[in-house]
């Protein structure tokens, strides 16, 4: 990516804000190309290229495929005329979500109206994105590189914190300005901050967090960043909080105002969650279980932490089956609180336990489908900064998981049911049907 970053002025980007860089189950001291120690790669780099005389004109992508030494990333970015490339997208979103949103506004006023080709389609009821950004987001693999900001030093105390910028991307795609977002597992506030920095205008967001420690860190971030719009945090067990909202015992509030339900009793336009991925397991490669190796081997050390002693913390359940059952109850509440036709994004990582690989993202998608959600797709979020740990070495294969899934689910649109033969019992009743 060196050439690509230089071409697009990306040299200023810092190392990726990797939320799992301290996870003892995912560690590698090397932050760049994992092939750097491959002897075959070294030979290839040392050997002179024999592609003939230097070219005097740009090489096409088709020609580049025949040249092993030419980076496909470079050719795609440098020579694609119409595609909204990954590097341009990263650069645009990184600058877009910088703290000073109004720096390009004339005289500090309202920014100039975007050019026509950057405006959303007039029939777009999903978001406020231009056609090129809309299209690029649908790419099924996402690799990000964000500068560390918005209280990263505080937020990284939580082992599963997410870059607010990636949460802003999700919010910008699945909502329009003025809509409301829910995060049932708010943690240290990645989704809440993402809603505050979303473009073209901040969204309202409500987060539920069971841990006083993590909710307190979000408040500290707000105290240190006066430019961030504060969002609402409800302290408590998300299952209990959402149950009270569904029954009408309490009404959710955002920005100090009570939210109004639609005719289905739903309050929210988008739900984004980063739930526990499993129950807590004993650390064996690092922490106390790895003390005999920690001093000598960097990839056995970790200060990874996402534990709480709260009774309602799903990660404190007894088994993986109990965890899935609890997540199904979460999805049931989310389905009722999400407006028909709108979406939910679940960020999750698979696991390897007791000698077996668990497809957690599939298990969760099936549980969500069972309560009415329609699976719409998944985005693989590649985490380039993941450190490698010698799990199976030298006896067998155990994967170092360097990606997470963003599972996209939709509550079907509500349409009027056809009138029955009796003519009155079902008139005006709304049913959820797959769009």
pLDDT in tens, 142-159: 988 777 777 677 777 666
Predicted local distance difference test score (pLDDT) of residue 230 = 96
Find out whether 379 and 388 touch, Cβ atoms under 8 Å: no
Q: What is the pTM of this model?
A: 0.71
Predicted local distance difference test score (pLDDT) of residue 415 = 73
**Torsion-angle region of residue 76: left (phi > 0), alpha (psi -120 to 50) or beta?**
alpha
Residue count (the chain): 435
**Cross-strand bridge partners of residue 235:** 209
Task: For the chain, list the domains and their CATH numbers.
Answer: 141-416 (3.40.50.150)
Predicted local distance difference test score (pLDDT) of residue 291 = 57
Q: Kindly tell me the burial class for residue 97, based on how many C-beta atoms sit within 10 Å of its own C-beta (0-12, 13-18, 19 or more).
A: buried
pLDDT at 385 over 90: no
Predicted local distance difference test score (pLDDT) of residue 107 = 41
Predicted local distance difference test score (pLDDT) of residue 383 = 84
Q: Kindly tell me the burial class for residue 312, based on how many C-beta atoms sit within 10 Å of its own C-beta (0-12, 13-18, 19 or more).
A: middle
Could you report the per-residue pLDDT of 54-113, keeping only the tens digit for each?
444 444 444 444 444 433 333 333 333 344 455 555 555 666 676 654 444 444 444 444
Could you report the per-residue pLDDT of 222-269, keeping only the tens digit for each?
999 999 999 999 999 999 999 999 999 999 999 999 999 999 999 999
pLDDT at 292 over 60: no
In angstroms, the CA 144 to CA 170 distance is 13
Find out whether 360 and 350 touch, Cβ atoms under 8 Å: yes
pLDDT at 377 over 80: yes
Which token pair is 271? 């739900």
Whole-number average pLDDT of the chain: 74
Q: Which residue has the higher pLDDT, 221 or 96?
A: 221
Task: Give 418's DSSP letter.
Answer: P
């Amino acid at each position: 990516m060196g050439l690509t970053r230089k071409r697009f002025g990306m040299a200023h980007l810092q190392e990726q804000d990797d939320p799992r860089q301290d996870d003892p189950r995912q560690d590698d001291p090397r932050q760049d190309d994992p092939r750097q120690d491959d002897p075959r790669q070294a030979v290839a780099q040392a050997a002179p290229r024999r592609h003939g005389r230097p070219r005097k004109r740009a090489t096409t992508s088709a020609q580049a495929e025949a040249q092993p030494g030419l980076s496909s990333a470079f050719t795609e970015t440098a020579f694609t005329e119409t595609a909204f490339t990954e590097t341009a997208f990263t650069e645009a979103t990184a600058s877009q979500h910088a703290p000073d949103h109004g720096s390009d506004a004339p005289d500090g006023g309202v920014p100039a109206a975007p050019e026509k080709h950057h405006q959303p389609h007039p029939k777009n009821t999903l978001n406020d994105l231009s056609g090129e950004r809309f299209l690029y987001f649908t790419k099924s693999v996402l690799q990000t590189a964000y500068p560390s900001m918005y209280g990263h030093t505080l937020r990284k105390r939580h082992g599963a914190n997410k870059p607010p910028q990636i949460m802003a991307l999700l919010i910008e795609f699945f909502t329009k300005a003025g809509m409301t977002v829910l995060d049932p597992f708010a943690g240290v506030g990645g989704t809440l901050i993402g809603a505050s920095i979303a473009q073209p205008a901040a969204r309202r967001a409500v987060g539920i967090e069971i841990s006083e420690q993590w909710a307190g860190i979000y408040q500290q971030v707000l105290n240190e960043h006066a430019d961030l719009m504060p969002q609402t945090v409800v302290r408590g067990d998300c299952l209990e909080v959402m149950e009270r909202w569904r029954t009408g015992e309490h009404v959710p509030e955002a920005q100090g105002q009570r939210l109004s339900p639609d005719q289905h009793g739903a309050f929210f336009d988008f739900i984004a969650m980063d739930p526990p991925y499993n129950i807590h397991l004993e650390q064996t490669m690092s922490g106390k279980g790895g003390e005999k190796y920690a001093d000598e081997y960097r990839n056995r050390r970790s200060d990874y932490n996402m534990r709480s002693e709260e009774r309602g913390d799903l990660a404190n359940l007894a088994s993986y089956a109990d965890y899935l059952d609890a997540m199904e109850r979460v999805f049931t509440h989310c389905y009722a609180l999400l407006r028909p036709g709108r979406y939910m994004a679940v960020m999750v990582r698979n696991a390897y336990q007791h000698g077996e690989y668990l497809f957690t993202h599939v298990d969760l998608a099936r549980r969500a489908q069972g309560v009415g959600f329609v699976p719409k797709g998944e985005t693989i979020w590649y985490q380039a900064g993941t450190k490698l740990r010698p799990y199976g070495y030298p006896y067998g294969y155990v994967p170092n998981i360097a990606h997470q899934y963003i599972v996209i689910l939709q509550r079907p649109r509500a349409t009027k049911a056809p009138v029955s033969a009796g003519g009155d019992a079902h008139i005006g009743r709304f049913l959820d049907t797959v769009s």
